[in-house]
Amino acid sequence: MSTLGLTIIALGLFFLMGMPIFMSLILSGVVAIVSGGFLPLSVIHNSLFDGLNLFPLLAIPCFVVAGTIMEYGNITHQIVNVVKQLVGRMPGGLGITTIMACTFFAAISGSGPGTVAAVGTILIPAMIRNGYSADYAAAAASSGGTIGILIPPSNPMIIYAIIGNLSVTAMFTAGVIPGLIVATAMVGTAVLLAKRNGFVADESTPSFNLTVFIKSCGKCSFALATPVIILGSIYSGMATPVEASVVAIVWALFVGVIVNRALKWEHIMNALLEGAMVCGGVLLIVGASSLFGKMLTYEQAPQHLTELVMGLSDNPEIVLLMIVAVLYVLGMFMETLSTIIILAPVLLPMIRTLGIDPIHFGVILVVTNNVAMLTPPLGVNLFVASRIADISVEKISVAVLPYLLALTLCILLFVFCPALSTWLPAVLGIGL
């Protein structure tokens, strides 16, 4: 048996044994080194260090800390109140509010489950109080949370850009239009479901009044300015994504402490702790994937995969559809960052050989992983919403099926219309 085959079998066995992903990757790399006999054992610690010694990774814990501080600092609640005035009186208005608030908050946190937790904690109980079913409320929040990994800043996009040696800013820019399209599809689905189930408008929300709305926007101007400051600093060239993540923390502290006067010392400590935990988990997997990816490169796994796939078809759209199908299955069992970290080094050489823009492929990869957040048994968004709504994951899994259909249609649109991903970076002159 070849070293490559032995390595892949070892990885699968470690997964089946329930071993943590980072340990499975490391031990599989060790199996490759020992069985192949072509590399010294020093490659192990050198690869782990190389995988961790990446400056752009600093943006991930910083955005997590910023998002948590904003939640504690009452910024999320202010965003929800403003959005609610716009659509709260429409049929299914609270469902629309949930998804729109998730879209807005996604431009702050970069995390899908974090978006569900921040917005769902406020709006899921509000929907249930206003006569919406618990499964509708949980499904709307879960689906809205998927936008968190597509609208910039996005933690998965940062990881993909690092692995593919691409511009993080270019990936962020490429996600804007697809993110807005997905958000629109989710809103449309929420409206149709609300009309079908006869859910009425939120009676506690007054009718839309432009004067009141403008005053409300002025009162919440610091909260509403948050995504503008974060993304504006990146796209204007004033800050790199890492620097912008630090700006986000400073701004969140300013608004939470000085403006809203809602942020306390224990809130800041909790935010730092959550950022540290996320950072620790990500770094473990990224470091381990560096070793595993190096083994795959030495064994020419990308070349073998390219030959296999092109033996079936060399049509870029067909190849992308095959990858999407595989990701749908893997997403049921693997977390988003793990999927990207393991597959990106193998798939990118093949993608480039077929002439597919790596930025376009990155958007496909990230948006397809949105599905993983809504499909059991992993479905992290489902578990977060289940805890808030106090209903079973099984009920939410059925309720999100229309949203999954809408998301699938969006993915097909992105596969066959690459310009939706590549047009904005090209217009703004943001290269690879």
pLDDT band at residue 111 using 50, 70 and 90 as cut-offs: low
Average pLDDT over residues 1-30: 79
pLDDT of residue 405: 93
Tokens of 319: 């190849």
Mean pLDDT of 26-32: 81
Query: What does the buried/exposed string (b/e) look like for 300-338 if buried means 16 or more CB atoms within 10 Å of the residue's CB?
Result: ebbeeebeebeeeeeebeebbbebbeebbebbeebbbbb
Angle in degrees, CA 406, 407, 412, rounded to 5: 100
What does the alpha-carbon distance between residue 302 and residue 270 come to, in Å, rounded to a whole number? 42
Cβ proximity of 150 and 366 under 8 Å: yes
Average pLDDT over residues 254-270: 86
Torsion on CA atoms 59, 384, 229, 423, rounded to nearest 10? 80
Mean pLDDT for 87-116 is: 73
What residue type is assigned to position 184 of the chain? T
What CA–CA distances, in Å, run from 300 to 3, 157, 284, 295?
Answer: 11, 25, 24, 9
pLDDT per residue as tens digits for the range 204-232: 666 767 787 788 888 888 888 887 888 78
CA-angle at 392, arms to 390 and 395, nearest 5°: 120
Q: Which residues does 145 contact at the CB level (< 8 Å), separation at least 6?
A: 102, 112, 113, 115, 116, 119, 120, 373, 381, 384, 385
The residue ranges of every structural domain in the chain are 24-33+41-427
Beta-carbon contacts of 299 under 8 Å, excluding residues fewer than 6 positions away, are 2, 3, 4, 7, 32, 36
**What is residue 423's predicted lDDT score, i.e. its pLDDT?**
92
Q: Does pLDDT of 203 surpass 80?
A: no
Q: Among 47, 373, 8, 401, which residue's Cα sits nearest to residue 16?
A: 8
323-359: per-residue pLDDT in tens? 888 888 777 766 777 778 878 888 888 888 888 999 9
Q: Where are the beta strands (DSSP E) in 161-313?
A: none
Residue 169 has pLDDT above 90, yes or no: no
Alpha-carbon span 30 to 16, nearest angstrom = 18
Mean pLDDT of 413-429: 90
Angle between helices 75-87 and 59-72 (to 10 degrees): 70
Find out whether 359 and 170 touch, Cβ atoms under 8 Å. yes
Residue 295 has pLDDT above 80, yes or no: no
Q: What pLDDT does residue 407 have?
A: 92
What is the spatial distance between Cα 157 and Cα 163, in angstroms, rounded to a whole number? 10
Total-model pTM: 0.78
